[in-house]
Structure 1
Amino acid sequence: MTTQPTDQLHIRANARITGDHEFAEQLSVTGPLTDTLGFVFSGGYTHWDGNARNLDNGKRANGRETLNSRAKLRWKASPGLTFTLSGNYLTGNSTAARPFVAMSPDARLRGDPALTSAVVLPGVVIGPDNQNVAYNARSGTQYHGGGGLLRTELSLGTLNLLSLTSYDRFKLDDYFDYDDTAARKRVGNAREIGTFRSRLFSQEVRLLSPDDAAFRYALGVYYANTGFERPFDRGPGFALSNLYATAGSRQIAGFGQIDWEFVPHLTATAGGRIQNERVDYTYANRLLARRDPTAKSYFAGHDSDNVFTYRLGLDYQATRDLMLFGSYATGYKGQAYDLSTGFDQKRADSGPIRPERSRDKEIGVRSQWFDRHVTFNLTFFNTHYRDLQAQTIETFPDGTFINRLTNVGRLVTRGIEVESSVRPTDDVTLTGNATYLRANYVSFPSAPCYALQSEALGCTGNPRRQNLSGERLPQAPTWRINAIADYSPALDDQRRGVIQVAWQYQGALYYAPRDPQVLQNAYHIVNVNLGVRDQAHRWEAVAFLDNVFDQRHYSAMVNVASNFDNRVATVAMLPRDYRRYGGLRVGLNF
């Protein structure tokens, strides 16, 4: 569905440079090779040093470097037969940083009296504005991967046959200083090293009816085979782990959808999908095998499931510019095995986690007014999940228990989405979007407690647990709002100005349920663009300033008190716009 070859040579290039050491460029070339063969090539490179600094080695962190490329050949072999072959390749690396934003003065790494914050975090000033870390182990990722897709389109009279064949491979090496410090003492020194490898093959065939008929349909079959490998090692000081796990999935599905305009302007939709999915795994606890060669350290298993999901809908095109719609759909998230550290015979005997299922209801309106100068869209949604897959405490008949990913209960998300735009003149466009969300656990009686949670704060029982039934889902703010004002005045016959102000608001949220140490307060971001462009969009030069008012916020927060003798200790991940930054963006299009 990416850019298709054009009948004439077309080149587009964009570059971006910022005052905080980011450089990015994108190039796209498309055009014909012959009367029946066209091509597309695009590529890009991005480098950013990051917005944190590792005081242990003096280097910047939390940055990235990425090189990506994509190519496509489209051959019209005959009037009714077209082949499109596309390929992509991606390679890059990143550096990770989680600065400490809070720590109790009496915190000691792993409870060792000698491992104070001054010792393990030399030079780091802990606080909400901290952008420094002290890591003595590599932290980040290195990755590469690619794949290809063959799209075959065959005309069969009034019908169309579509075939999609794809194959992808990806490898990521990940490294992390697990103790978040520069501790040299073995008791406080832990690092993670792992690899993630994946492969995917899929084949899909669709039969499509004409899309301008009152009765339209699509029928198809789908096959996919995926495989994953995960070697992982953590240590040597604490939280030891050494494992090698694999997981596989094979899906076979048939699907279809009918759209029927059974009376003028009123269209009914009915679609369904039936699928069989088989999942399998292997798990080798290499740490246990070294410690006790007689212990059971290797596990393997498989399971399968059949499922039917469907969607029903009704659309009413009241006028050319007003449509009302409603839909009901079911969803399915398949079986899975929790292959994390701690996998043992009990977890193996428990089998796969049951599928997660959902029921989604939507009603809304899509409309345009005043000769399409005003657009207003409104959607009400309500989704109910059952057999929610999440981390919980599982107790066995013999009284023992483990923490594992399993089915925990039910969840409901409901809310309203509003999308609007106003174009009072050809030079001015105003847009605004807002989402009001209520997302709550309906049933989650045995959730793990957060670090430092006391009995008075709801952590009770044996094993210790909290009841999150009725609580708000983490990372789900009540409000998200954004608005953009765009003014493009004519400067002369050839040029226009570019003036744009964008405002984003996000309400408060918890990154883990109820945990006050990982509460992100509400914040707003203002971005400004000023520049000039060609009347026909052939070139553009824009200066920009993001996060104009320097609003500090985090993309994630983690309570790591358990690593610091159960004293307050919180780390945060810094987003790209954590601090105000600016730069220049230029583009060519011809």
Structure 2
Amino acid sequence: MALGNTVCRWALAAAMLAATQPLAAQTADQTAAQTTPGSLTTPDQGAPAGPTSEVAPDPAAGGDIIVTANKRAENIQKVPLAVSVVSPAQLASAGVRNFTDIGKIAPSLVVRPAEQPQNSNISLRGVGTFAFGIGVESSVAVLVDEVPLAFQARAFTDLPDVERIEVLRGPQSTLYGKSASAGLVNIITRDPTDELRVRANALITTDEERGLNLSVSGPASDTVGYVLSAAYNYWDGNVKNLFNGKDVNGRESLNLRGKVRWEPTDNASLTIAGNYINGNSDVGRPFIRFGANARLRGIASQTPAVVLPGVSVGPENQDVSNNYDSRTKYQGGGGYIRGEIGLGSMNLVTITSYDKFHLYDYLDHDDTAATVPQGSNVQIGQFKSEQITNEVRLQSPSDGPFRYTIGGYVAGVKFERPFYRGPSFSLASWDATAKSRQVAGFVQADWTIIPSLTLTGGGRLQNEHVSYTYRDNLAGTRFSGSASDTAFTYRGSLRYDFTPTVNAFFTYATGYKGQTYDLTTGFNRNRALAGPIRPEKSRDKELGIRSQFFDRRLTMNVTLFDTNYRDLQAQTIETLADGTSNFRLTNVGRLNTKGVEVESSLRLGSDLNLNGAVTYLDAKYTDFAAAQCYPLQTAALGCTGSPTRQNLTGTRVVQAPEWKFNVGADYSPSLGGNLRGVAQLNWQYQSSLFFQARDPETFQPAYHIVNIGLGVRDEERRWELVAFVNNLFDKQYYGSLVNSAGNFGNNIATQAVLPRDFRRYGGLRLGVNF
């Protein structure tokens, strides 16, 4: 690992020094209701739509949760949307420290890791983007403090200094634009505080993970506040490369963040934020199955025993033998400037952001230590992204019967991707660029017609211009092109309050994912002439009930949803005008996803809190007549035609489990004096799914994971020490499965991407909060 122990020792020393300073204590309950950064009023009076400085307690703890799903601070129980909020305590209890693991505590969300971050993907309610080309945006947007990430791989790192995570399910294109056609994940980081605060969290595990997160915030003067945070995480990994004795499938990252907020008057504020990330990961994909006749590239002498010396292939295999170091390294940074000013009773908000990210990826393409030339095939590439955005919005007060937000958004994004594969087989050498310019205007209004009935409506008009260049260095060809598109999305909701704590809503919303080009290996004249891939569009219906009972000790929220997608962007066979065919990303047809989501929390006394969430999902392709066959699929198994294809119409969508739930408990009995005990339980379940449609080699059976923690904490949560065991019952499952039959003479050859908790492990968490 590149950053080494020096950073860890430096950060640990800084945390110890900060923790020993005599600081004014402030409990979680005291800070729970702070308003948005630079806010001119409290949330109840119409706070502007910024991330709140401190998330209010979970309803099970007796408080309100304030979210910004509608770009306005609101009580989550009053928002006519399917929104989940995850706190740092829930993340810790579920063993979530990396973005890849967020799906453990958000049942409608599945995050599929890959050998390298750029090939990972996110899906909500069974809908995601399964493509590898630059410029192909995700169906699920990821934002940090309301600022979208241009490159989704940017998100696949640790979660430093998180205040809360909001998961918005279903199309969010009206307020958040073209990259949120299936939903979004909004990561809210901590903001400056009015008093000096220090938070530090340290972690060590039995399998060589070390982590430290330090945050210091407070006032620099009467009008200036600040927050500075640093996070370092190192993990060896849970796979051994027998070729060189290295542990792989691990990671190392350093995250630095800072915010300064200036409030020159009571009705104006300016926040400047910056961030920097530097990290690396190494790759190991163990083989878990081989057919009797599997041979590397069909070469008779290259049996698994020869090309993978010492590796015992099987379902629990954690060994690889690679003669090339598969890895990534990345760095990037950026920031934003957020301004707020009161204009009479109105509030004007502007957010301008810049981000730049660079990732290098290296892969042992044959995944072996074979000494023949075919055993030295590699993939080497880079991803470079740069983004500039600006959003301006004007908001009315929140305390009137008619409330509205009107705004505009401009963004420019560019990507670069040089790529090489070889030298023995599947040769490729190309360079591509992709650019996008987006301009949009949006409006949303809430009208409380009578005290118990509220109507919400909104629309977004957006125009996008995309362009590309592609140079194939082997064929000596070069292509370029551009296209523009204008789209309108909208949503409408009706909410009725039966009582102050029980309401129901119906929402109809449309979603839109922009056009693009499939800039991957194989791009040629035919693809260039075919033009851009058409936008993907969705229509969503939701019926929800939000309820609290027994003095708000019990919260029960239920959402029924039914969403149709057309012009679905996915990999398929395309027959072109000249009669030739190829596989590419294109518009394949339609998809429907429907189901039920239930979220609940319960406070039993002052020391026992329970929470849970469950999703039932029925996601199917309703029109996908010409899908790519999976490796080893025969005519008897549905692979027919010329070129061969399979019909997936009526088939369950990939990466879409029928059932998924998460249950948590936190028990903190008094131990006398100022001490309380800590007993935490987290139980996660996921039913079976396919990582590639119908492919038995990529079938993941149902599994469940149980995490527990025992410890002690201060009465006012100034400190907490917890010993934990994750994956208590040592259940094995896979984060992803890869069918590599084509690399082994068209015989069974299956590889797995192992999750962080593939094996049971334990550790200690220490947190201080002064």
TM-score bracket, normalised by the shorter chain, equals: over 0.9
Q: Name the larger-Rg structure.
A: 1
Once the two structures are aligned, what percentage of the paired residues are identical? 57
Cα deviation digits, residues 498-525 of structure 1 (max 9, x gap): 0011111100011100001111000000
Does 1:122 find its partner at 2:302? no
Deviation at 1:316, TM superposition (A): 1.2
Does 1:27 find its partner at 2:27? no
Does 1:304 find its partner at 2:491? no
Q: How does 1:39-438 map to 2 (within 5 A)?
A: 39-289=226-476, 297-438=477-618
Query: Contact 1:94–1:142 at 8 Å: present in 2 too?
Result: yes
What code does the residue aligned with 1:506 have?
A: Q
Cα deviation digits, residues 341-362 of structure 1 (max 9, x gap): 0000000000000000000111
Q: Which moved more, 1:484-493 or 1:503-512?
A: 484-493
Paired with 2:231 and 2:539, the residues of 1 have a C-alpha distance of 40
Paired with 2:655 and 2:284, the residues of 1 have a C-alpha distance of 20
Paired with 2:283 and 2:539, the residues of 1 have a C-alpha distance of 38
Query: Contact 1:189–1:238 at 8 Å: present in 2 too?
Result: no
Query: Contact 2:663–2:684 at 8 Å: present in 1 too?
Result: yes
Paired with 1:527 and 1:53, the residues of 2 have a C-alpha distance of 25
| TM-score with structure 2 setting the length | 0.75
Q: SS at 1:347's partner residue?
A: helix
Paired with 1:305 and 1:432, the residues of 2 have a C-alpha distance of 42
Cα deviation digits, residues 267-311 of structure 1 (max 9, x gap): 10010000000000000001222xxxxxxx100000000000001
| RMSD of equivalent CA atoms | 0.8
Does 1:441 find its partner at 2:621? yes
Cα deviation digits, residues 369-388 of structure 1 (max 9, x gap): 11112111100011100000
Query: Contact 1:110–1:188 at 8 Å: present in 2 too?
Result: no
Paired with 1:69 and 1:169, the residues of 2 have a C-alpha distance of 15
Q: Which residue of 2 aligns with 1:512?
A: 692
Q: SS at 2:474's partner residue?
A: helix
Cα deviation digits, residues 115-159 of structure 1 (max 9, x gap): 111111011000000000111112111000010100010110000
Q: Which residue of 1 aligns with 2:110?
A: none
Query: Contact 1:188–1:238 at 8 Å: present in 2 too?
Result: no
Cα deviation digits, residues 21-69 of structure 1 (max 9, x gap): 0000100000011100110001100000000000111000000000001
Paired with 2:604 and 2:215, the residues of 1 have a C-alpha distance of 34
What code does the residue aligned with 1:409 have?
A: G
What code does the residue aligned with 1:398 have?
A: D
Does 1:566 find its partner at 2:746? yes
Paired with 1:204 and 1:187, the residues of 2 have a C-alpha distance of 51
Q: SS at 2:517's partner residue?
A: coil
What code does the residue aligned with 1:275 have?
A: Q
Cα deviation digits, residues 396-441 of structure 1 (max 9, x gap): 2332101100000000000000111222211111222100000000
Q: Which residue of 2 aligns with 1:523?
A: 703
Q: Which residue of 2 aligns with 1:8?
A: 195
Query: Contact 1:441–1:468 at 8 Å: present in 2 too?
Result: yes
Query: Contact 2:366–2:377 at 8 Å: present in 1 too?
Result: yes
Cα deviation digits, residues 66-120 of structure 1 (max 9, x gap): 0001000101122322110000000100001110000013111111112111111
What code does the residue aligned with 1:581 have?
A: Y
What code does the residue aligned with 2:467 have?
A: D
Q: Which residue of 2 aligns with 1:534?
A: 714
What code does the residue aligned with 2:228 have?
A: F
Q: SS at 1:346's partner residue?
A: helix
Paired with 2:222 and 2:402, the residues of 1 have a C-alpha distance of 35
Deviation at 1:320, TM superposition (A): 1.3
What code does the residue aligned with 1:571 have?
A: Q
Does 1:17 find its partner at 2:204? yes
Q: Which runs of 5 or more residues in structure 1 are unaligned?
A: 290-296
Paired with 1:562 and 1:548, the residues of 2 have a C-alpha distance of 37
More helix as a share of residues:
2
Query: Contact 2:735–2:752 at 8 Å: present in 1 too?
Result: yes
Deviation at 1:583, TM superposition (A): 0.3
Q: SS at 2:261's partner residue?
A: strand
Q: How does 1:440-479 map to 2 (within 5 A)?
A: 440-479=620-659
Count how many residue pairs are aligned between Structure 1 and Structure 2: 583
Q: SS at 1:517's partner residue?
A: helix
Q: Which residue of 1 aligns with 2:672?
A: 492
Q: SS at 2:300's partner residue?
A: coil
More strand as a share of residues:
1
Q: SS at 1:288's partner residue?
A: coil
Deviation at 1:4, TM superposition (A): 2.1
Q: Which residue of 1 aligns with 2:148?
A: none
Q: Which moved more, 1:536-545 or 1:413-422?
A: 413-422
Deviation at 1:485, TM superposition (A): 2.2
Q: SS at 2:507's partner residue?
A: strand
Paired with 2:443 and 2:388, the residues of 1 have a C-alpha distance of 22
1:556 equivalent among 733, 736, 756: 736
What code does the residue aligned with 1:576 have?
A: R
Q: Which has the higher contact order (CA 8 A, sep 6+)?
A: 2
Q: SS at 2:671's partner residue?
A: coil
Q: Which runs of 5 or more residues in structure 2 are unaligned?
A: 1-50, 52-188
What code does the residue aligned with 1:367 have?
A: S
Q: Which residue of 2 aligns with 1:294?
A: none
| TM-score with structure 1 setting the length | 0.98
Paired with 1:73 and 1:268, the residues of 2 have a C-alpha distance of 37
Q: Which moved more, 1:262-271 or 1:462-471?
A: 262-271
Paired with 1:156 and 1:391, the residues of 2 have a C-alpha distance of 50
What code does the residue aligned with 1:302 have?
A: S
Structure 1 segments (4+ residues) deviating >6 Å: none
